[in-house]
Amino acid sequence: MSNNSLPELGTRRGLMLVLSSPSGAGKTTLSRMLLAADPAIAMSVSATTRAPRKGEVEGQDYFFVSANQFHDMAKHGAFLEHATVFDNHYGTPKEPVMMALAKGHDVLFDIDWQGTQQLRQQAGDDLVSIFVLPPSHDELERRLRARAQDADDVVAARMARAGNEISHWAEYDYVVVNDTLEHALEKVRTILAAERMKRGRQTGIPAFVSKLIG
Ligand code: 5GP
């Protein structure tokens, strides 16, 4: 019997899925693959004061804003969380997330450990956090260089910061080593599938059980 004939079984509380990693671990590609594979997920698009990289699209990769605009948004409570990373400001606009969750979508966040801590305080059990690790130190460095979108000194600075970001791995619910994107995607989708089945998220179950037992 399909969920269509059991409408209450289809009701589910949306979850907030966080992917964090040092830059160069493949998290952005992984996020894109996950979104393409699963239409029930909406991506949270952050606001940032950093300059757009080549190929980045306004409103799709980020909302690129000035420092003044960013501070205004923060002052007016427009962010669910915000943090400073590599001397730039990053923040998660609140309204689109709330709207997506209200529609029953899950929301994916590509944010750092500081943002994850703030979201955890606000969202509690609605948050599922995954830390993505590169398969080795050398591979992390190679991926950072291969990107070649940032100047050499920026790459070196990011490599130095990677250690700091990685030191927060134990604050996450899950850890996925990104050896190949296909493996990593499969692991993330498995986590998501299990988390969606959690009792507390299946809000239609009490009504369904009442009918079952009369
Ligand atoms: P990048 O500049 O490489 O796109 O991102 C740098 C770091 O900032 C990444 O670790 C990314 O996850 C993080 N980041 C991006 N958007 C946000 C955000 O809205 N909040 C927080 N806390 N971190 C973010």
Rounded percentage of the chain residues whose pLDDT exceeds 70: 93
Question: pLDDT-derived band of residue 154, with 50, 70 and 90 as boundaries?
Answer: confident
Half-sphere exposure in the Cβ direction for 195 (13 Å, CA): 21
* Ligand 1 centre distance from Cα of residue 9 (Å): 36
CB atoms within 10 A of CB 206: 10
* Ligand 1 centre distance from Cα of residue 106 (Å): 19
Domains of the chain by residue range: 3-44+104-212
Closest CA to 130 of 21, 30, 25: 21
Half-sphere exposure in the Cβ direction for 35 (13 Å, CA): 16
Is the CB of residue 185 less than 8 Å from the CB of residue 29? no
112 lines ligand 1 (CB under 6 A): yes
pLDDT above 60 for 160? yes
Residue 146, pLDDT score: 76
pLDDT in tens, 60-115: 999 999 999 999 999 999 999 999 987 899 999 999 999 998 888 999 999 999 99
Instruction: Tell me 52's DSSP state.
Output: P
Is the CB of residue 145 less than 8 Å from the CB of residue 152? no
> 């948050």: which residue's tokens?
127
pLDDT in tens, 5-16: 455 666 778 899
Give the CATH number of domain 3-44+104-212. Answer: 3.40.50.300
More confident position, 168 or 23: 168
pLDDT in tens, 164-173: 999 999 999 9
Distance in angstroms (rounded) separating the CA atoms of residues 31 and 192 = 13
* Ligand 1 centre distance from Cα of residue 198 (Å): 28
